[in-house]
Structure 1
Amino acid sequence: MEMLFENVFIIGTGLMGTSLALAMKSSGEIGEIQGYDANSEHVVKALELGGIDRIGQLKDVDGCDLVVLAIPVEGAKDVLGRILPFLKEGTVVTDVGSTKREIIKAFETLHRCMKDKDVNFIGGHPMAGSEKSGPDGAIQDLFKGKTYVLVRTSSCSDEMFEKFRALVVKMDALPVEMDAELHDRIVSVTSHLPQVISYVLVQTLIDYAREDERYVNLVGSGFRDTTRLATSAPAVWIDIFKQNKDNITDALNHFQAQIEWFKGMIETERYEELSESVTKIVSFKERL
């Protein structure tokens, strides 16, 4: 039986890359998966876990019909430029980054330099993840039931876009097509802002604990749950903050205004009004 993609190459075998490899294998729609990672321990572990079938080098993308960039968003732009000359005609290339405008802009610039070589680039962002990193945290079902954003580019044929969408469905994810601008604006609120808040909450505790370590002694499950994201890899997030600076700044301005409003409610003892607002918040959250 013909598979959707016979030869896949995954660049970056950390949490996302290895989880994606495992999900692709479970779909039954993939032939062989090669993997590459600058961290040799990661790629060896991905091989041991059965996520990839063999370890390759970047030039080995030349025999693949699907290439996945599963590395931090700034690094993805650099690697894209390095692999593009090796890609065969008709290859599908996608990424899993949390920002879409920059990687698509980088591809379009590189593509023009290659005299419009036949490469089907699809911006991808599976809305799934973990505060963990590395292949040890990989989960085969990480994408099950999760939204998987797909951004169509002008270089991608309808046939190849639908082929990759079909693979996403086979991984039990929920494909949603969206343009890059809208994607980056929305995730600045739903993904990037919570990360910033988590980091800042921990920094707030650090500030208080400098004066009295008993603050740390009284950290409970509420603080731990709320700051789970604060253990996420800084290198990954600094790249995201850099690439989506304008939208994240807008989201932070709105959040800051909400904090000032909440503070004002407490300072002026408008508890009945605050209770009504919080009740609406709880109701909305329960529907998510």
Structure 2
Amino acid sequence: MEVRVFIIGMGLIGGSLALSIKSAHPNTTMIGYDINQDELKMAKKLGVVDEIAEKIAIGARNADFIFIAAPVNETEAIMMELSEIPLKTNVIITDTGSTKGKIVSSAACLREKNITFIGGHPMAGSHKSGVFAAKSILFENAFYLLTPTEDVQETHIESLKRLLGGTKAKFLLISAEEHDYLTGVISHLPHLIAASIVHQAEKSSRSQELVSRLAAGGFRDITRIASSSPQMWRDILLHNKTVMIDLLEEWKNEMDAVQNMLVHENSQAIFDYFHIAKQFRDLLPSKEKGAIPAFYDLFVDIPDYPGVISEITGFLAKENISITNIRIIETREEVYGILVISFQSESDRQLGIECIRKYSNFDITVGP
């Protein structure tokens, strides 16, 4: 029997879902919709979808599964629109948003029409956007959180998981409230803190011009996530407002405690603070995918002579190893500079290490 999957939003997430579903269910008909017509046409041209829908109503009407891969604010409006469309009796609707409480609550308009909605959040991403960056392995080994309400039938949850088998993700079923707290702690708060650190550096740079120059290395790396979409993070924080207010209060208390250690010059407490943090951080899984996209970097000490960078990229090209970014973070007056090469995955980075060692004797350090 033909299964029709309709994906609303042909960006990185929507496109990658389409590819991963198709990889496990090649007979599935994939229909795509996006307000950006260029993105939609590109999805069809790349074979990400089989058909394109000019309107949501056209794509949704005969779909067995509907994925809303849109920003959280738009998701609410799309669910309302779907509730007014005559859909298939057993259609399953899900989303991919980074917040769940408000979205699951807004899905009441669907539940009132006996339409099954299962909140979803694939915890994977990339530093690139758009359907052109979509790939079927994006969610491999990532956590895929599902937040069904109590009225959702177990058979519907299993049907959605089977359809998503090609993602090779790790499914976890939790409540919407638990989801928003967990993502608040491990994703939303870190993004906000990174932005605040950058704000502090920007203000300091107004009176001390060396701030910008010295921040080009490690500072830039630890605040990478502050470069994320301002519109997306505005919407996420407002959707998760209650959790974020509580977490910010806890963060202020944490910083007050650190300030108190410094005021009283409590050296043991300061040591313990960093020691406990190091212990917990070192025990975190290094191979798992989490809420924040991982960075797979290599730091290469290179001699300062013409053509050395193209020499290294030539080594990688010879072995067909893809890179996502390359830059120099430190230039010294002596012999060496530090070249940072970013890869798409841990396996690509390992291939990069082997390749560079095969063709050169440059010193290599793996990024954190």
TM-score by structure 2 length?
0.72
Deviation at 1:188, TM superposition (A): 1.1
Name stretches of at least 5 consecutive residues in structure 2 with no aligned partner. 285-368
Match of 2:138 in 1: 142
Q: Which amino acid aligns with 1:65?
A: D
Picking from 161, 166, 190, the partner of 1:194 is: 190
Whether the aligned pair in 2 keeps the contact of 1:123 and 1:150 (CA below 8 Å) is yes
Q: Could you say if the C-alpha distance between residues 244 and 11 of structure 1 is closer, same or farther in structure 2, counting changes exceeding 3 Å? A: same
Q: In structure 2, do the counterparts of structure 1 residues 200 and 10 end up closer, same or farther at CA, with 3 Å as the change threshold?
A: same
Contact 1:131–1:228 (CA<8 Å) still a contact in 2? no
Q: Could you tell me which amino acid in structure 2 is paired with residue 7 of structure 1? A: R
Q: How does 1:116-265 map to 2 (within 5 A)?
A: 116-117=113-114, 119-265=115-261
Whether the 8 Å CA contact 1:168–1:175 is kept in 2: the answer is no
Q: Is the 8 A contact 1:7 1:30 kept in 2?
A: no
Deviation of residue 24 (structure 1)? 1.6
Q: Aligned partners of 2:176, 2:67: CA distance in 1, in Å? A: 18
Q: CA RMSD in A?
A: 1.9
Deviation, 1:243, is 1.2
**C-alpha separation in 1, matches of 2:73 and 2:23:** 30
Match for residue 23 of structure 2? 26
Whether the 8 Å CA contact 1:10–1:17 is kept in 2: the answer is yes
User: Which secondary structure does the structure 2 equivalent of 1:175 belong to?
Assistant: strand
Separation of aligned partners in 1, 2:220 and 2:41: 32
Rounded to whole Å, the distance in 1 between the matches of 2:216 and 2:9 is 35
Give the partner amino acid of 2:99.
T
**Mapped partners of 1:71, 1:30: distance in 2:** 25
**Percent of residue pairs bearing the same amino acid type:** 33
In structure 2, relative to structure 1, the CA distance for the partners of 1:105 and 1:206 (3 Å cut) is: same
Q: Which has the higher helix share?
A: 1
* Closer, same or farther: CA 29–153 of 1 in aligned 2, 3 Å: farther
Cα 1:180–1:41 change in 2 (3 A) is: same
Cα deviation, 1:209-264, whole Å, max 9, x if unaligned, reads 22233211111432222211112112211111111101011111111211222233
Describe the shift of the 1:30–1:94 C-alpha distance in structure 2 as closer, same or farther (beyond 3 A).
Answer: farther
Contact 1:131 1:229 in 2 (8 A): no
Q: Summarize the Cα distance change of 1:12–1:198 in structure 2 as closer, same or farther, 3 Å threshold.
A: same
For the residues of structure 2 that align with 1:252 and 1:217, how far apart are their CA atoms?
Answer: 30
Cα distance change, pair 26–221 in 1 and its aligned pair in 2 (3 A): farther
Match of 1:9 in 2: 6
CA drift at 1:44? 2.2
TM-score, normalized by length of structure 1?
Answer: 0.90
Asked if 1:108 is matched to 2:105, the reply is no
Deviation at 1:287, TM superposition (A): 1.7
After TM superposition, give the deviation of residue 135 of structure 1 in Å. 2.2
Q: Which amino acid aligns with 2:106?
A: A
The aligned length equals 281
1:81 matched residue in structure 2: 80
SS of residue in 1 equivalent to 2:116:
strand
Greater relative contact order (CA < 8 Å, ≥ 6 in sequence): 1
**Judging changes above 3 Å, is the alpha-carbon distance between structure 1 residues 135 and 205 closer, same or farther for their aligned structure 2 residues?**
farther
Contact 2:62 2:88 in 1 (8 A): yes
- Greater radius of gyration (CA): 2
- The residue number in structure 2 matching 1:267 is 263
Cα–Cα, structure 1 residues 88 and 197, in superposed 2: closer, same or farther, change >3 Å?
same
Question: Would you say the 8 A contact 2:72–2:236 is kept in 1?
Answer: yes
Displacement of 1:204 = 1.4
Asked if structure 1 preserves the Cα contact closer than 8 Å seen for 2:144 and 2:172, the reply is yes
For 2:337, the equivalent position in structure 1 comes to none
Name the CA distance, whole Å, in 2 between partners of 1:143 and 1:30.
Answer: 21
Task: Compare 249-258 and 165-174 and name the one that shifted more.
Answer: 165-174
The DSSP-based 3-state class of the residue aligned with 2:137 is: coil
1:36 maps to which of 33, 38, 42: 33
Structure 1 Cα separation of the partners of residues 138 and 109 of structure 2:
33
Does the 8 A contact of 2:97 with 2:121 survive in 1? yes
Deviation per residue, 1:27-50 (Å, 9 max, x gap): 236611111111122222322333
Instruction: Judge which range, 81-90 or 152-161, deviates more.
Output: 152-161
Letter in 1 for 2:73: E
